[in-house]
Amino acid sequence: MRNLAALVTPAMLALWLGSSAPAAAEIMLGLTGGLVIPGDQDLVFQEYPEDGGFPATDRVIGQKDVDESLGPLVGATVTAWGDWSFLRYFALQLEPMYWSMQAKGAPSPPAPRFTVHEQRVAVFFSALARLPVYPEPGRFSGTGRDSFAYLGAGLGPVHSSVSHGASSWDLGYQLLAGVSIPVVSKLRVRLEGRYILTADVDTISRDSPGWRVDTSGFRRGFTPNRYTDTQFIPLLVGVDWRF
């Protein structure tokens, strides 16, 4: 069911993009880049036996003994702000993105010596709201060169791939907030922070014996369910061209 929702979402995004863009007062095309801080991922190293059974308790390396690194994120955005009156404060956004990171087990046995590579490709559909902060707080000046703060929430399909683990398509979620500042004419710069939730990447004994890697665990904190609790915190800089 989760995979079906993830695959249906792109069709919904295409329908939105084709129908809403003509009615928008501002269309912005942007590029985004930055660093991803790994959040709570329940990243676990487990050694599956040759007979296909479950790992022994002494052959499991838990989250506290796994070192994770910062990783890069790159993406592109198409943002359509509303046409008139109060709709100028709201937008819909389509955003493909890619991010990755690495992790290693503790340097002492029985942890494996290999490095785990995590890669994710996503297409998020988000709703945004903004508020002008300069030169007229709370009101648009009519020049198109207002600095504004914004926040939003979105969801979309995410493909997760974990080396020494598995890969899958599932639904992901994000919260975002930032500020957009005009630079010259139609060029703007964004400073942005996000909170991204993706689904677990589970391995099972039949995948193959030996050391395998899960991003899986128990539900905790702000998560929609126990299978969607792999978390990331991107800190980003973007540039937008306003049409």
What is residue 173's predicted lDDT score, i.e. its pLDDT?
Answer: 95
Q: Sketch the domain layout of the chain as residue ranges.
A: 2-9+28-242
What is residue 69's predicted lDDT score, i.e. its pLDDT?
Answer: 86
| Distant-in-sequence, close-in-space partners of 123: CB < 8 Å, separation ≥ 6 | 9, 10, 13, 94, 95, 96, 97, 156, 157
Could you report the per-residue pLDDT of 94-112, keeping only the tens digit for each? 999 999 998 876 666 666 6
The continuous run of DSSP H or E covering 214 comes out as strand 210-215
What is residue 145's predicted lDDT score, i.e. its pLDDT?
Answer: 87
How many angstroms separate the Cα of 115 from the Cα of each of 45, 139, 163, 184, 191?
Answer: 11, 51, 8, 44, 31
What is residue 49's predicted lDDT score, i.e. its pLDDT?
Answer: 75
Could you report the per-residue pLDDT of 15-42, keeping only the tens digit for each? 444 444 445 578 999 999 999 998 877 6
| Distant-in-sequence, close-in-space partners of 86: CB < 8 Å, separation ≥ 6 | none
The continuous run of DSSP H or E covering 10 comes out as helix 2-20
Q: CATH for 2-9+28-242?
A: 2.40.160.20
Could you report the per-residue pLDDT of 201-225, keeping only the tens digit for each? 766 545 566 777 766 555 566 666 6
Three-state SS at 23: helix
Q: Please give the single-letter amino acid code of residue 159.
A: H
pTM of the model: 0.81
Can you state the percent helix, strand and coil of the chain, rounding each to 5? 15, 55, 30
What is residue 104's predicted lDDT score, i.e. its pLDDT?
Answer: 77
Do 206 and 49 meet the contact criterion of CB atoms below 8 Å apart? no
On the question of pLDDT at 93 being above 80, the answer is yes
What is the rounded CA–CA span in Å between residue 223 and residue 66?
22
- State the DSSP code for 201: B
What is residue 16's predicted lDDT score, i.e. its pLDDT?
Answer: 45
Partnered with residue 95 across adjacent β-strands are 124
Find where tokens 């709709």 sit: 87
What is residue 150's predicted lDDT score, i.e. its pLDDT?
Answer: 98
Could you report the per-residue pLDDT of 142-196, keeping only the tens digit for each? 788 899 999 999 999 999 988 877 788 999 999 999 999 999 989 999 999 999 9
What is residue 48's predicted lDDT score, i.e. its pLDDT?
Answer: 74
| Distant-in-sequence, close-in-space partners of 129: CB < 8 Å, separation ≥ 6 | 89, 90, 91, 150, 151, 152
What is residue 52's predicted lDDT score, i.e. its pLDDT?
Answer: 66
Average pLDDT over all residues of the chain: 81
On the question of pLDDT at 88 being above 80, the answer is yes
- Print burial letters for 63-83: b (CB count within 10 Å at least 16), e (below 16): eebbebeebebebebbbbbbe
